[in-house]
Structure formats: structure tokens, C-alpha cells
Chain A
Amino acid sequence: MTQRYLILEDGSAYAGKAFGSLATTTGELVANSTMNGYQEIISNQIYHNQIIVFTQTSIGNTGLAQNAYESVLPSAKGVIVREYENLATDHFKRISLDRYLKRHKIPGIYDVDTRQIRRHLQQKGNMMASIVDVADEHAFDQLHATVLTNQQVAQVATPKPYPNPDEGANVIVVDFGLKSGILRELSKRDCNVTVVPWSATSEAILDLDPDGVVLSTGPGAPGNLPESVLQMIREVQTQVPLLGIGLGHELFAMANGAKVDQLRVEHHGSNHPIREIITNEIFFSGQEQGYAVDSKSIDHAKLFITHIDLVNGTVQGLRHRDYPAFSVQFSPDGAPGPKDSVGLFDDFTEFMARRRDNNDDEY
């Protein structure tokens, strides 16, 4: 058991034991408080350039399930946990977490006071951190000198379109760092999916004759993406039903004139009640957000708020007043997290069905 260190931008250091890859990495440190689904979390592309602190005490308990990856090539920069178990159970031909992390060059540290780190982050706000062999001055210098890329989406999204054929509605998914949960839910609804690169133009998308377009989740700040993406959204939303999720939601908001701010502390978990304003009902969902739409910046002639987080008051859902276009900040696919709001995918297919039925009127 090699001793390694997690060092933080503010000078603090935590010693622990290494697992997974022994790579030295740097990223933003975020705490995730979901109690299940370490596999889904680690493989989610939104963690590109981030080091994940798990507040759940123990990961690796169940190995990795064949059908629970959120991406093929995970891009997280590290995993920090209190306790780690390197189990692989043969019933599902699962592979172990250690093997997976080594394969994808993701370092892990366990046997650290993750509760203290979580509380520390909560107080001090977002921070950069490194996983290193020695917590010396040199390591801290390196950490302070590191500038993380702002081209995160380009690094994780598909460079080329690819199909996921089925017999239902024709859905174009714009990949900003897509999580597989979205594709799973579309497949369950028999959608004939084509995933296109984040840089796809509205013409390219509309030429695929979509019944609907999904703007996917993805890593980093929405402001890092060029104006052309917003332009694409503005054009597409007038033509076909649109669903934005996570980063896709933030981009949808910006395309319609809203501002998006960085949160002081990123929120990753599924414990916040989300209120659907129209029904006044609350539900829970996986939330992984570093940014939030500024509610004061919303142009109410274009958008209205459909969901809010009851704890931090952030906008969790938006809808366009004129078009069948809507978006949510959270992950209704439940990978990981509650599936309380998975019905939003039905709402989307409903929109698409309605559009198909009304085709004659509109065109």
C-alpha cells in the first residue's frame, strides 16, 4: 500500500493510501454525496478534469456492472474515498474498480478523512487539488502553476456522428460530454438516435430530419463554448422539440439570453428537493452542477422557470414560451440517483409525437 497525498490549492494536504493508477494528476476538487453508483459517477464525463471526493464511505463493493457505465473513456482526474474494496463478483462478469481505474489512468486515494475534506470544501469553496507522491513545496508549486484546459467539451465529446438505430422517433443528441443514461432512456422509448459532435451546425442537425433534439450533459463552464453553439440552439428550438440536460440546460438558457454563474461550491448529490412549480410537487434527482442559471437574468418573454432547488434556490428547469423546448439542470435518467423524474423523457417523446401528428399543419 503506497502512501500518496491529496494536496489542495489552499495549502492543506491529506495523506492516504493509493489505489487505481499511480498517476500524478491535477483537477478541481468536488464532493459527491450520492450514496450509490460510484461506477456511474466515475465514468460520467462531467468529471473531466475533476477529482471526486465520495462522501459515501465505501466504494468498489460491487465491482463494475456491464451495463452501468456512463461513458467508454472516463476522464475524471482522481477518486478520493474513506474506504475502498476491490471486489469483482462473477455473476455479472464484473471487473474490479482497481482494474478499471488503472486502465483509465485514474488515481485513487483511500483511508482519508473525507468528511473533513467535504466540510473544508463547503467552507472554503471550489478549489484545485493534485494527487501526488510527495506533498512537498514542489508539488504545491506545480499545483499552483497548473492551468486546466477550457476546451473540456472538445476533449470528451465525439468528433464524429454515430447512430444508435431503433424504430421510434428520430432524435439527434448533441454530444457535449454525453452520459449514457440519456441514450438508455431514449432507447427505452425506441428512439432512433444519432449522436452528433458538439460543434454540429443547425443545418447539419436539421438535415438529419429530426423529430427532436437533445442537448446533452457535459463538463465545464458553458461560457467556454463558442457563440456558434448558442446560435445552433436558437435555430433548432424553433424547428423541433428540444430537451437540454445539465450543460445542455445551461446552454439552452444562455441561447435565450440568460446568464449562467459559477456556484461557490459545486453541488453533486441527490439529496436536494427539487420543486416542480406547476404541480408544487417535490422530487429528488441526481444533481451534478458547478454552474447555475441566474434567475434574475431570465427573459420572461422567452423562458419561464419550471423547477427550482428548494435548498439553494437555483433554477433547475426552464421552458420556452413559444416552442416545445425545455431543459433541466439535474439528471432525470437516474444514473446514478433517483428516477423520480424519469418521466421528463416521456414528456419529450410526447412533444415529438405531437409534432409528428401535427406535421401537416406546420409544414
Chain B
Amino acid sequence: MTTNIKKLLLLGGGPTNIGHENELDAAAYERLTAIKKTGTQVIYVDDNPFSFASEEVQPADVYVQAVNFQNVVKIIEKEKPDAIMPKIGGLNAMQVAWQLEESDVLASHNIQLLGIRPIDLRKVLDNQQLREMLTETGEPIIASKIVADDDEAMDFVRDVGFPVIVKPLSASHDTSRFICNNTDELEDALEISFKRTYIKRVSIEQSIVGYKEIEMVAIRDENGNKLLISGLEDMDPIGIHSGDSIIFAPTQTLINQEYQALRTATFRIMDEINVTGTCHIQFAQSRTNANYYVTKVSPFFTRNALLAAKVTGYPLSYVSTLLEMGYALPEIKLPEKYSKYLPFMEPTMDHVVVRIPLWPFRDIPDVDQHLNTLMKSVGSTIGVGRTVEEAIMKAMHSSQFSPRDILPSVSKVNDDDVINQLIHPLASRILILMEALRRGFSIDELSELTKIDRFYFYKMNQLLRAQDFVINNPLSPTAVEVGHKYGFGDGMLAELWHVNISTIERMNRNAKQKVTFKEVEPSAGEFMEATNVFYSSYELENESRACPGKTALVIGRGGNQLGPNAAADYYTAQILNTTRKAGYQTIIMNTNPNAISLAPALSDKQYIEPIQLGNILNIVNLEKPDIIFLPGNRHYLSNKLREFADLNMVVLPPDQKVAKYKQKQATDAVDLFIDQDRILPITTISFYTKSHRTELRYINDYQQPMAHWQREENDLITEAISKIDTSQWQGLVQVLFYKDAAATYQFAGIRPIRITESAFLNKTTGVNWIDALVKKYLGILDIDQLASYYQPGIHKRYAMMEAVFPFKELQSNRTDGTSTQEVGSSLSFRKIDSSTI
């Protein structure tokens, strides 16, 4: 494989937010390993402080800046790249690429746009051109009009009738769509939309609410070779944003003719826009006839494009990168563990994956929680099984985000509310659907009310019957068997029967009920692939063998909610990286399809399993890990696991319960690294909040070093060290100070450095402190080397990390939130201006 691209500008995905988690970073990581093989130099732009990928690039080639037109132009002028690769940065990066084209920057610097030609990019980003292109291609689209004022909108609605969908054009993010059933709703929607559009244009279209939403993800090379990665079926109909819908892979309720028609349409559109690499196309499929409409064309990386890769085991980002760079599909060479045919074989699945979204309403309760065309979820978990029921059960099991193994139920909701929620769905909708079945709603009735295919209600009904059977037959071997078949973990059975999990384990041994692990691989058993991704099922053949040699198991965090999840994922990835480099066979278990920690290259083996006691023990029993890492504060789980005395478990960072506070307010801090009796000062930090509060729970914005560091840093560090008793404090430790009205620093407390700030330190000090911490627990830390390597106190710049809150996306009026409400952070640097010191 050869390329004539010498220097490549790669645009990153930016801070995590609603609609995008770490999946773009995970894909960027995979992408960088592919680019390295071609010998091309990469310049990477991204301001996500929890980016793992950016650490794969030479530090000098990373620009920690927001991906926007102004920044990218400056970088282009300085770096003079041959080519620009925007697809991994999602819609935002594509729009930047288009601005570069419009303003002639690409042409004047002779830069090649990879993945799509400028002329075709325009066809996709400009709604009018997209519609024209689709019409010319013969692909059906829904009636739609761009309007400049309310009158034009009303005229359109008189022609097509309600319901209609209104959305602002060129809005800052792509999630705002409003469905209107009457004039009042239309007027409201127009008002909001005209405020959000900066070109004063709003699109209004005929509604296809109730249609099935089907998504197709495919790749194409320069020669026109195309391959379908996977189809995805949204269980919820059009009208609920696909990001808020439960998604099934493969599609479950399409007949072959429908499926192939959508596949053919996908390929036709990809040919029309000459895309290379990944393309994600969304369709609305009628429930009563063969009609479909094309609803969205995304020739770039989206969350669901990457979901398609995750569910099939296809190395999408790797292959897509090379296709964008001009290689042909049959030329692609994959890393050794894959069979040589894999890049150009169409993935075929012999398992079912269910994705269940997670919503932020526990942390931000005072917003409209109805599910509609505006995306509101902030994360998701997947369940993988050999049957639809098993996959649903495992996904539900994970999505409660509770480490306790309990069966979810909403029996307290009254009948009126059930009906109301069937028609006007709220978050965690599947619980209401099941509750309605429990209360005797007929499947036809439910399907009519919800526009959800009857198939799914049959499946849920089967789950309910299995659940009843399990509950009514406590401790019976048949009930264990039935439970296992339907995805009830051992922990769940123990919880339902109020017994210890060891009782269930004993029953399993007696009944020879043994968990088996199956590989997630794209050939459905035709080739002996070694993707090393496994999920459990209770069947005959177990395909996962214990990793040889020293092994480390890292227990991932599961699906993202608000709070330090993106940071925790970064933290987890660092743990994997360090243990692996230290010679451990490293095993990760996780359920978040968007996690960087599930990137195939970061571990030796991946289990996509609910993060629950029973599932963890199954893996522990097979792998017998020498050490188990549990990143993040998970009291229930760590306490439960501690009951198993023979497990060598490390909780990182140490439980925040050990924190000692004198007061719960702080303005500054000193970060230390402590090993035995050695205390290394790392840096000082100043805390900020948008509303100038000093309570610890509001602190989300950080600056390194502290303000006025020249005058006060050394004193503060000395004082901080004096507060440390090394018999109590080890590892990454933060000493808090509160600067009072008299401008004196009062000692406020000591705590382990939290996940978010650990990531911040890594990015700002140039030392990987998480790596050092993990090495300390592995017993391989060379503290002298670390001390000699890192010299604090020489500051040339301020580093700032500011929280990103999803308030605007959720249409909340809040501006400032707590650390449990942040969805991500952005990182920036500012030169220290000597005049201000």
C-alpha cells in the first residue's frame, strides 16, 4: 500500500455532548493506527481533554483547539498539509471542511479533501441540493420547503396538512426538530427555529411519524466498490430521534425485499455523491406497503455508524481511513489478528445487539422529558445475546446503571399515566411498554398506540412470562435454566430469590449449567476470526479460553450518563494501556458501545457484558485475573467484590469516601503524587465556576497553574505537603485551599484526585499521571525516574478545562451546573502574559 499524501490534517470530534460521546475519539484512535502504517504524518486538531487518540500523535503535531474555521485556517497556513480528513470529526468537521472550500482555502493551499469531493459535500450539507440530488437519483423524499417567514410556512401546511416537522437551517447543532400537530405548535416551533437559524431560513416538511426508522451503514472505495456493514432497526418509530430510540442489529422486522431495496438505495446514493469510506443513511419505511423515504444522508462518522461497526466486529474506522486515502477495498491489509478476507467480506451476524439509550433526567430533572425529534439521551448501553430476548434483557440490565442486580419495573405508575406515556413517550420507555403488557393491554392495541412493530411486543411478552416463571419457581433448576436462556444473570436470580449468589453458582454446578462465551465476529462462524470480543450465552460451545500468563481485568464503567463519564472512559483506557505495556494480558468488560476503552487495539480481550456481579464473576471464574482494576466510584460493586477475598482488586482512583474536608468550599488546590514516603508536587490549580461559586460540588472549571502562581505557588505547595501523612495518603492526592476575603489561603481538605482532574493533569503537565498511578499499584513504578523527569514550577501557559453542560440541547434555562451535570469538557491554552502576573 502506498500513498502520495505526506502530511494529513485530521479534524477531531471535540468535547463530548448530547449526540456524541467518546466514539469519535475511539474511531480516531483506530484511524491513527491505520494512517501510521502508510507512513503519513498526521496533524490532529481537537479540544476534548478526554481524548485518548490525541496522545497517539506526536505532541508537536497536536493542536488543542476547537475545530472551527478560524482555528483550522491558521493551522493550515502554518502546517501546509497535503490533505484534510474531516470525516472522523462528525458533522461539525464536515461543515468546517465546507467553509474551507467556500472560502477557497483548500484550493489556494492545494489541499485535497478526503472522503468526499467538495462538490459532493455541498450536495449533502445543503438541504436543497440534497433534495435535488435524491430526486434526480430517483430516491423518494418527503414534501418539504424552506421558508423565510411564518406566512410561507402556513401556506405549505395548507397544502400538505398536519403533522409537519419544523427545523432551523444551519443551526449550531443538528438535533433540533419540532413536530407540530396544530397551528399553535407550529407557531411555537417557528419562533424557536427562527431564533436558532443564522441564515434566517427554516425547513418545514410533511411528517412521516409512525414509519419505521431504518439505518444503513456502508463503505465505498474510489472505484465504486461498496460493502454494507450493517442495517440497524430503531424499535421506536419515526417521531422519536434515533439517538433516543432502542436500536436492534441486525434488522428484525424487514422482509428481504424491503431490506434489499434499502441496501440498493444506499449504494445508489453513495455512488451519486462519490463518497469514499463510511456513509450512514437513514430511511423511513412504511408499515403497510413497500414505500420508503430517504430521511438523512451522513457521509461521515456518526454514533450509529460506529455502532454498526461495534455490533459486527468490523474494523470500520481502520478500513474507512484507508479508503478515504484512496486505497481500493481489495487492497486493504488489516492487522494480523483478522483473516485476510475480512476487509471485503460483508459482515453477517449470528448474534443480536440491542442498544438502549440513557437519559440525563435524574441529574437534570427540570426539563421536558418527553421523547420526540430532539435528541435528549447522553449515553447508551448495549446487550449482546444469541436471542432477541436475551439481548433485550442484558441491555436493560446494563441500562439501569445500578450495580445491583434487580429487575426493573414501574408498577407504581397508575393506569392513566401508562396510557399517557404510551402515546407521549418518556425516557426509559421500554419499562412502560412492558408494564402495559403486564396490565393486559393487547399486542395489537399496543402496536396501534405506539407504532412499534408487534414483533417487539411478542418478545417482551416472552420475557415477562419467563420472569413470572422464574419468580414463581424459586431455586428450581428449571427456573435457573429458563432464566439463563432469557438473559437473567446469576446476580439477578439471586436478587429475585433473596439468596446469596454462591447459592446460584452451586446450583449451576449441580445442574451443569455453564456459561459459554461466543465471539462477536463478522463471518458468522465461517472463519476462525480472532476479534477477541466476546459475549455470554448459555449454550453448548464456549469459545473464550483463559488468557495465558499474567492477566489484568479492567471493569469498565458501562453507559455514559452525566458526570465524569467521558473522563472515566479515558481513565479506563489509560489503565488498559499501562497494564498491557507492563506485560499483562489485559481484559476489559464494558457495555458502552461508544467507549474508547472498548477500542480493539487497547486490550487483548473484550467482554461486552453487563457490569453486574454475576457477569463479573463469570468472567473472573474463566480468566482468573491476577489483578482487577475498578475505575471510578462504585461503592456497591466494590463492596460486593470485596466479599470475594481471593480477588486482588484495585479501585482507582481510591474511593472518594476517604476524603477529609474541613470545609466544602475551595478556590485552589495543590496536586501531589505520593509514593511511600516520597511526595512529588505536580502543580497548583485554581477552581472556577461560571456563577463564581466556591462550593466543591459546583466546581467544574480548572486552571493550571493557579492564578498568581509566581507569588503564592511555592508557599502553597510547601503548606500542602505539610498536611500530608503518607501513611494515610498515597498516589494522586489533592490538597484543597479556600482563599478567604482577606486573600489568605485556608486549608480546606484532602482528597484523592478525581478522574476528571487526573485527565486534565495528563493533558497539561505532559506527564501521564494515571500511568504512574497504575504502575504504582502494579509495583513497577520508578519514582526517581518520575521525579527527575518532571519539574513543576516552570510555567509558560495557562491550561483551562471548562465543563460542557447539555442545558441548551435540553432546552433548559440553566447556565451553571454541578459536576454531576456536565456532559463533557473543553480544553484550551493561553500564553501567560507577564504583564498580568
Chain A contact residues, CB within 8 Å of chain B: 14, 31, 33-37, 39-40, 55-58, 61-62, 65, 67-68, 82-83, 85, 87, 89, 91, 111, 113-116, 118-119, 122, 269-273, 275, 280-284, 310-311, 334-340
A282-B330 Cα distance, complex, nearest whole Å: 8
B524 pairs with A113, CB closer than 8 A: no
Say whether, besides A35-B348, A55-B525, A273-B345, A83 and B255 are in contact (CB < 8 Å). Answer: no
Determine, out of B259-267, B275-283, B799-807, the stretch whose residues face the partner at the interface.
B259-267
A311 pairs with B341, CB closer than 8 A: yes
Residue of A nearest to B289 (CB): A91
B256, B264, B348, B388: the one contacting A68 at CB < 8 Å is B256
Does B798 count as interface, using CB distance less than 8 angstroms? Answer: no
A119-B516 Cα distance, complex, nearest whole Å: 15
For residues 757 through 814 of chain B, which have their beta carbon under 8 Å from a beta carbon of chain A? none
In the assembled complex, which residues on chain B have CB atoms less than 8 Å from the CB atom of A68? 255-257
B223, B349, B526: the one contacting A281 at CB < 8 Å is B223
A57, A65, A116, A337: the one contacting B540 at CB < 8 Å is A116
- A-B pairs, top 6 by smallest CB distance, nearest first, are A37-B256, A116-B541, A118-B525, A113-B539, A55-B524, A336-B256
B256 pairs with A57, CB closer than 8 A: no
Residue of B nearest to A267 (CB): B526
A61, A67, A335: the one contacting B253 at CB < 8 Å is A61
Residue of A nearest to B539 (CB): A113
Chain A: minimal CB distance from B391 (Å): 9
A55, A83, A282: the one contacting B348 at CB < 8 Å is A55
B264, B348, B523: the one contacting A339 at CB < 8 Å is B264
In the assembled complex, which residues on chain A have CB atoms less than 8 Å from the CB atom of B257? 65, 67-68, 335
A85-B523 Cα distance, complex, nearest whole Å: 24
In the assembled complex, which residues on chain A have CB atoms less than 8 Å from the CB atom of B386? 57, 82-83, 115
In the assembled complex, which residues on chain A have CB atoms less than 8 Å from the CB atom of B200? none
Chain A: minimal CB distance from B540 (Å): 4
In the assembled complex, which residues on chain A have CB atoms less than 8 Å from the CB atom of B387? 57-58, 82-83
Say whether, besides A270-B346, A273-B227, A115 and B541 are in contact (CB < 8 Å). Answer: yes
A340 pairs with B267, CB closer than 8 A: yes
Chain B: minimal CB distance from A328 (Å): 17
Chain B: minimal CB distance from A134 (Å): 19
Say whether, besides A83-B388, A281-B225, A37 and B255 are in contact (CB < 8 Å). Answer: yes
Does B454 count as interface, using CB distance less than 8 angstroms? Answer: yes
Say whether, besides A115-B386, A273-B345, A58 and B352 are in contact (CB < 8 Å). Answer: yes
A310 pairs with B344, CB closer than 8 A: yes
B329 pairs with A282, CB closer than 8 A: yes
A219-B522 Cα distance, complex, nearest whole Å: 28
Say whether, besides A36-B254, A57-B387, A269-B526, A113 and B541 are in contact (CB < 8 Å). Answer: yes
A122 pairs with B525, CB closer than 8 A: yes
A190-B666 Cα distance, complex, nearest whole Å: 81
Residue of A nearest to B351 (CB): A57
In the assembled complex, which residues on chain B have CB atoms less than 8 Å from the CB atom of A91? 287-288
A87 pairs with B454, CB closer than 8 A: yes
Interface size class of B (residues with CB under 8 A): 35 or more
Residue of A nearest to B522 (CB): A271
A79-B319 Cα distance, complex, nearest whole Å: 36
Does B451 count as interface, using CB distance less than 8 angstroms? Answer: no
In the assembled complex, which residues on chain B have CB atoms less than 8 Å from the CB atom of A89? 454
Does B252 count as interface, using CB distance less than 8 angstroms? Answer: yes
Say whether, besides A61-B253, A68-B256, A310 and B524 are in contact (CB < 8 Å). Answer: no
Residue from B252, B267, B526 whose CB has the most chain A CB atoms within 10 Å: B526
A56 pairs with B350, CB closer than 8 A: yes
In the assembled complex, which residues on chain A have CB atoms less than 8 Å from the CB atom of B224? 281
A39 pairs with B256, CB closer than 8 A: yes
Chain B: minimal CB distance from A274 (Å): 10
A39, A87, A311, A334: the one contacting B455 at CB < 8 Å is A87
In the assembled complex, which residues on chain B have CB atoms less than 8 Å from the CB atom of A311? 341, 345
Query: Known contacts A65-B257, A335-B256, A340-B226; can you find 19 more A-B pairs with CB under 8 A?
Result: A33-B525, A55-B350, A57-B351, A57-B386, A58-B252, A87-B458, A113-B539, A118-B525, A122-B525, A270-B348, A271-B526, A272-B345, A273-B225, A273-B345, A282-B225, A282-B330, A284-B227, A311-B341, A337-B260
A283-B271 Cα distance, complex, nearest whole Å: 13
In the assembled complex, which residues on chain B have CB atoms less than 8 Å from the CB atom of A280? 223
Chain B: minimal CB distance from A168 (Å): 22
Chain B: minimal CB distance from A214 (Å): 21
A36, A115, A281, A335: the one contacting B525 at CB < 8 Å is A115
In the assembled complex, which residues on chain A have CB atoms less than 8 Å from the CB atom of B264? 338-340
A31-B225 Cα distance, complex, nearest whole Å: 27
In the assembled complex, which residues on chain A have CB atoms less than 8 Å from the CB atom of B344? 273, 282, 310
Does B558 count as interface, using CB distance less than 8 angstroms? Answer: no
A310 pairs with B349, CB closer than 8 A: no
Residue of A nearest to B346 (CB): A271
For residues 514 through 528 of chain B, which have their beta carbon under 8 Å from a beta carbon of chain A? 516, 518, 522-526
Chain A: minimal CB distance from B14 (Å): 35
Chain A: minimal CB distance from B45 (Å): 35
In the assembled complex, which residues on chain A have CB atoms less than 8 Å from the CB atom of B350? 33, 55-57, 82, 114-115, 118
A40-B387 Cα distance, complex, nearest whole Å: 22
Can you spell out 30 A-B residue pairs with CB atoms less than 8 angstroms apart?
A: A31-B525, A33-B523, A34-B348, A36-B254, A36-B255, A36-B260, A37-B256, A55-B350, A57-B386, A65-B257, A68-B255, A82-B350, A82-B387, A83-B387, A85-B459, A91-B287, A115-B350, A115-B524, A115-B539, A118-B350, A118-B524, A122-B526, A270-B346, A271-B347, A271-B524, A284-B227, A311-B341, A336-B256, A338-B346, A340-B267
Does B168 count as interface, using CB distance less than 8 angstroms? Answer: no
Does B752 count as interface, using CB distance less than 8 angstroms? Answer: no
For residues 596 through 611 of chain B, which have their beta carbon under 8 Å from a beta carbon of chain A? none
Residue of A nearest to B221 (CB): A282
A62, A116, A271: the one contacting B255 at CB < 8 Å is A62
A85 pairs with B458, CB closer than 8 A: yes
Residue of A nearest to B525 (CB): A118
For residues 493 through 535 of chain B, which have their beta carbon under 8 Å from a beta carbon of chain A? 516, 518, 522-526
A33-B252 Cα distance, complex, nearest whole Å: 15
In the assembled complex, which residues on chain B have CB atoms less than 8 Å from the CB atom of A113? 516, 539-541
Does B483 count as interface, using CB distance less than 8 angstroms? Answer: no
A39-B260 Cα distance, complex, nearest whole Å: 14
Residue of A nearest to B329 (CB): A282
In the assembled complex, which residues on chain B have CB atoms less than 8 Å from the CB atom of A56? 250, 348-350, 524
Say whether, besides A91-B288, A273-B344, A39 and B349 are in contact (CB < 8 Å). Answer: no
Say whether, besides A57-B351, A339-B264, A284 and B346 are in contact (CB < 8 Å). Answer: yes
For residues 210 through 236 of chain B, which have their beta carbon under 8 Å from a beta carbon of chain A? 223-228
Interface 0/1 of B371-392, CB less than 8 Å to A: 0000000000000001111000
B260 pairs with A61, CB closer than 8 A: no
A33, A34, A62, A339: the one contacting B526 at CB < 8 Å is A33
Residue of B nearest to A58 (CB): B388
